[in-house]
Amino acid sequence: MSLARLAAALRAGQLSPREAAEDCLRRIEAVDPQVNAYITIRAEEALAEADALVESGERGPLWGVPVAVKDVIDVAGTHTTAASRVLTDRLPAEDAHVVARLRQAGAIVVGKLNLHEFAYGALTTSPHFGPARNPWSPDRICGGSSGGSGAAVAADLAAGTLGTDTAGSIRIPSCHCGATGLRPSTGRVSNRGVVPVAPSFDTVGPIARTAEDCALLLGVVAGHDPADPASLDAPVPPYGELLGEGVRGLRVGVVTSLVEGADGRVAEAVEAALAELRSLGAELVPLEVPLLEHAGTIQQAMQFPEATEVHMEWLRTRLAEYGADVRARLLVGLFVTPDVREAGRRAREAASEGIRRVFEQVELLAAPTMPVLPPRIGSETVELRGRETLYRLALIPYNSPWSLVGAPVASVPCGFVDGLPVGLALVGPRLGEAIVLRAAHAFQQATDWHERRPALVSPDAERAAPR
Amino acid sequence: MAAQPTPAELRRLAERQGVTPTDEDIEAVRAFLAVLLPAFEELERLAPPPAPDG
């Protein structure tokens, strides 16, 4: 059941917050051993909070809804591990701003979700907590870094989740797990109480079943936080109310090079999705985005040193406690010169101006979320257009262009290849989450890709993925 | 194109910043830098510093 429908059922008294939490915890107990989406399950706390919620009498928009958050987001009294041995002692006294918002809205936080160590990688194969497994094919990765968030949604282990995104970490697992995810504009959601990766790119955002669910979650967590200097003081539109406006008349820029660069089967699914948008009244405009081919380099010129700065003290004193791949990435930041970083900053400004001009021609951009299917756990390469390619390099051109300019991006399920989900990325202008969600919702009203369930959730699933 | 720093040069740069990587770490870093350094050179050409006034 989608988060929006569950919230409505709770409000209507069809079930109580305790019953919703118990149901969710039962599924976690039964299914999570096969998926490893959770690092910490807050069973007792969640049930107590559900009971307290009923006693309080206040009913917010997420009243009684069981949710879970990526384990870089602080929940008071519960360890934040970031899937790393380095943080095993972090026991926050306060909720992250987004968790406080969830609670104010009546949500019950049932647990903390697995991720790539320190959210710095896209595999979610922590050497310390084990890999999160893709519910559609448990021998494959679920993407990352918010892999547990994507897996939990796909396996019905939470009604909705929060992840974080620096260079694709919400979009990638949403795509690979057949979930709907939204990277909001950078600064739209407070990062206070969240373990950073590279602060000028980081944002919290929702991963759930539908665009409507994401709209509900974003409406709760978005907004100015005076205690976070990067938080934008901008009005938050009523996302849910704007969902129904459809795509008729919208000009959607199709990023041709990204469609053509993807695995041919992925491109085919995306082209079918674009045809669906056209049939709903959108006008498709083939185009290219300035500096697209340099976006990954520009982001890395800034992201590597930013991330290394965050970790500098631990690199000096606890280097051996990091997993090998994250250790290497953090060490790379030691060797990026100030001149390169400054060139990255200048190029980022040019890229932002280029995107701003693109959005004078179109209201939305579309591309594949990912060009490839998720690799098997243990493999770091994929075949792309007949060439063996490092997975971490394949994803960069599809994700960095939008992170770089702080644009909102949704990943929407749009088909299957070999039984694995494929995602359509819908990109909006800065602070244009409403138009992104509106297009995603229109697409989901006309298709049922987001309703398909992996066999792991229900062996008799009414609508398994086509082969 | 600038040459890739040697393992000894990388180690020296790291130690100057108070970090002591292993030989395996240095090799992993060199694998990243083999891709990054040419791209960073191109980036510096793409976005050169503004000319000084006057």
Dihedral sign for Cα A436, A67, A39, A133, please. Answer: negative
Residue A321 near residue A86 (C-beta atoms within 8 A): yes
Q: Has residue B48 been placed in a domain?
A: no
**Across the interface, do A294 and B49 touch by the CB < 8 Å criterion?**
no
Residue B22 lies in a domain: yes
**B5-44 residues touching A, CB cutoff 8 A:** 5, 10, 13-14, 17-21, 24-25, 28-29, 31-33, 35-36, 39-40, 42-44
Domain count, chain B: 1
d(CA B26, CA B5): 10
How far is A155 from A454, CA to CA, in rounded Å? Answer: 7
pLDDT tens figures, A96-154: 999 999 999 999 999 999 999 999 999 999 999 999 999 999 999 999 999 999 999 99
Residue A211, sorted as left (phi over 0), alpha (psi -120 to 50) or beta, turns out to be alpha
Domain membership of residue B2 (yes or no) is no
Cβ of A319 and B5 within 8 Å? no
CA distance B23 to chain A (A): 11
Beta strands A283-287 and A251-255 are parallel
Measure the CA–CA gap between A39 and A12, rounded to whole angstroms.
Answer: 32
State the pLDDT at residue B2: 65
Shortest CA gap A347–chain B (Å): 6
Answer yes or no: is B39 within a domain: yes
A311 close to B (CB below 8 A): no
Interface probe for B, chosen from A313, A327, A331 (most Cβ of B below 10 Å), is A331
- Residue A115's nearest CA partner among A72, A55, A62, A60 is A72
User: Once rounded to an integer, what is the mean pLDDT over residues A394-421?
Assistant: 98
Interface touch A347/B46, C-beta < 8 Å = yes
3-state secondary structure of A389: strand
- Residue B1: per-residue pLDDT: 54
Report the DSSP pairing between strands A66-70 and A160-165: parallel
| The token pair that represents A41 in the structure block | 């399950």
Contact B25 A327 (CB under 8 A): yes
pLDDT tens across A12-27, in order?
999 999 999 999 999 9
pLDDT computed for residue A88 by the predictor: 84
Is A411 among the catalytic positions? no
CA dihedral B15, B17, B21, B23 (to 10 degrees): -50
- On whether residue B21 sits in a domain, the answer given is yes
User: Which of the residues A2, A70, A190, A403 is marked catalytic?
Assistant: A70
- Whether A112 sits among the annotated catalytic residues: the reply is no
Average pLDDT on A355-375 reads 98
Burial A82-108 (b: 16+ CB within 10 A, else e): bbbbbbeeeebeebbbbbbbbbebbbb
Question: Domain limits at B20?
Answer: 7-43
pLDDT of residue A467: 40
pLDDT bin (cut points 50, 70, 90) of residue A58 is confident
| pLDDT at A378 > cutoff 90 | yes
Instruction: Pick the closest to residue A203 from A439, A430, A435, A443 (CA basis).
Output: A430
CA distances from B30 to A303, B24, B36 (A): 18, 10, 9
Residue with tokens 């202008």: A429
pLDDT digits (tens, 9 = 90+) for B10-43: 999 999 999 999 999 999 999 999 999 999 999 9
Rounded to whole angstroms, the Cα distance separating A114 from A316 reads 26
Q: Å from B18 to nearest chain A CA? A: 6
DSSP states of B18-51: T----HHHHHHHHHHHHHHHHHHHHHHHHSPPPP
CA of B33, closest CA in chain A: separation in Å? 7
Angle (CA) A314 A118 A24, round 5°: 140
Q: Residue B21: which of A297, A300, A319 has the nearest Cβ?
A: A319
- Contact in structure between A144 and A172 (CB atoms under 8 Å): yes
CATH 3.40.50.620 fits A3-224+242-301+325-451, yes or no: no
Summary mean pLDDT of chain A: 96
Distance between CA A271 and CA A279 in Å, rounded? 12
Domain residue spans of chain A: 3-224+242-301+325-451
- The first and second tokens of residue A50, run together, are 């559900």
> Is there a domain that residue B49 lies in?
no
Contacts of A206 (CB under 8 A, 6+ apart): A160, A161, A162, A163, A170, A181, A182, A213, A214, A217, A218, A221
Which residue type does A163 have?
Answer: G
Kindly report, residue by residue over A219-265, the tens digit of the pLDDT.
Answer: 999 999 999 999 999 999 999 999 999 999 999 999 999 999 999 99
pLDDT in tens, A182-208: 999 999 999 999 999 999 999 999 999
| Catalytic residue (choose from A84, A145, A231, A411) | A145
* Binary contact (B49, A336; C-beta < 8 A): no
Confidence band of A462 (pLDDT split at 50, 70, 90):
very low
Residue A466, pLDDT > 50, answer: no
Q: What percent of chain A has pLDDT over 90?
A: 96
